[in-house]
């Protein structure tokens, strides 16, 4: 593992796939021009619209998303995370998987993950979410893949951040960096987003890269933004705030080792 620059993208996706991918490409290019070799896109980067439309267009969204990620990885010679997009299920036309995909600079797939925790919540602001209506939960814990000089990278998606056992699993598998791509609601984000991201970094002494959606996407769907990168001590290295843009920060293996020596809590685990 070596020191390198990573970027977490903050964007406002809508039901318009073409415009979403164009927006994503602009932020990827901006990040690369500033030296990033690892770029993470948020959940729903290619499409954020009504659930019924998402299912109806599942094959189109999945195909365009995967082709886009491969093209960006090869064009810019970066490792790129597509933080969540619908992928079809062979024997079920009513639901999709919410899938995160990590692509290497040569365009080959490093790993993928189907979101296991689904967001079924009625919020005090009147918004209701029932992700399980159109999404089938994954059945496997998220993977950690060895990305060579970039270290060991662990995957998760959005609502997973509220389940610390997922991140303990990733740290047990040796994760140096964990992704938390999200479309966090505006209502919960203001109180919980940064706290949860920093907590996952602190308790697992790892870097956390958290790309995010922000603003108004359609109807009453608003997200919190604040894409960020947090170091193993829980320090926020970069934060986009509520505006679209990129959070850019160094991933430093010496810092990782330093914190793990100073606070060797992973070695002191009693249960798991």
Alpha helices in the chain (DSSP H): 17-33, 51-56, 58-76, 164-172, 186-204, 253-262
Q: Is 43 a catalytic residue?
A: yes
What's the rounded Cα separation, in Å, for the pair 78 and 106?
A: 8
Please identify which of the residues 115, 145, 152, 206 carries the catalytic annotation. 115
Q: Is 115 a catalytic residue?
A: yes
Question: Are the C-beta atoms of residues 41 and 22 closer than 8 Å to each other?
Answer: no
Strand partners of residue 132: none
What's the rounded Cα separation, in Å, for the pair 258 and 115?
A: 32
Q: Is 25 a catalytic residue?
A: no
Please identify which of the residues 43, 54, 145, 206 carries the catalytic annotation. 43
> Which tokens hold the place of 248?
């850019």
Please identify which of the residues 111, 145, 158, 206 carries the catalytic annotation. 158
Question: Are the C-beta atoms of residues 193 and 221 closer than 8 Å to each other?
Answer: no
Catalytic residues: 43, 115, 158
């Amino acid at each position: 593992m070596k020191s390198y620059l990573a970027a977490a993208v903050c964007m406002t996706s809508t039901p318009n796939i073409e415009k979403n991918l164009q927006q994503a490409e602009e932020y990827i290019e901006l990040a690369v021009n500033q030296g990033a070799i690892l770029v993470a896109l948020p959940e729903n980067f290619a499409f954020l619209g009504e659930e019924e439309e998402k299912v109806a267009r599942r094959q189109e969204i999945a195909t365009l998303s995967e082709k886009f990620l491969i093209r960006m990885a090869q064009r810019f010679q970066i490792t790129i995370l597509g933080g969540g997009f619908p992928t079809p299920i062979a024997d079920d036309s009513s639901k999709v998987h919410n899938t995160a995909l990590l692509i290497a600079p040569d365009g080959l797939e490093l790993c993928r993950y189907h979101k296991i925790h689904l967001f079924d919540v009625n919020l005090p602001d009147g918004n209701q979410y029932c992700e399980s209506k159109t999404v089938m939960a994954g059945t496997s814990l998220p993977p950690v893949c060895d990305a060579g000089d970039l270290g060991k990278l662990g995957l998760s998606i959005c609502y997973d951040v509220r389940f610390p056992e997922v991140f303990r699993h990733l740290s047990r598998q040796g994760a140096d960096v964990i992704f938390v791509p999200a479309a966090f609601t505006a209502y919960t984000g203001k109180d919980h987003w940064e706290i949860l991201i920093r907590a996952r970094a602190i308790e697992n002494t790892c870097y956390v890269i958290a790309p995010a959606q922000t603003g108004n996407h359609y109807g009453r769907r608003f997200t919190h933004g604040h894409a960020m990168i947090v170091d193993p001590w829980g320090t926020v290295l970069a934060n986009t705030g509520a505006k679209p843009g990129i959070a850019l920060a160094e991933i430093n293996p010496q810092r990782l080792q330093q914190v793990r020596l100073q606070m060797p809590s992973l070695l002191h685990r009693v249960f798991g």
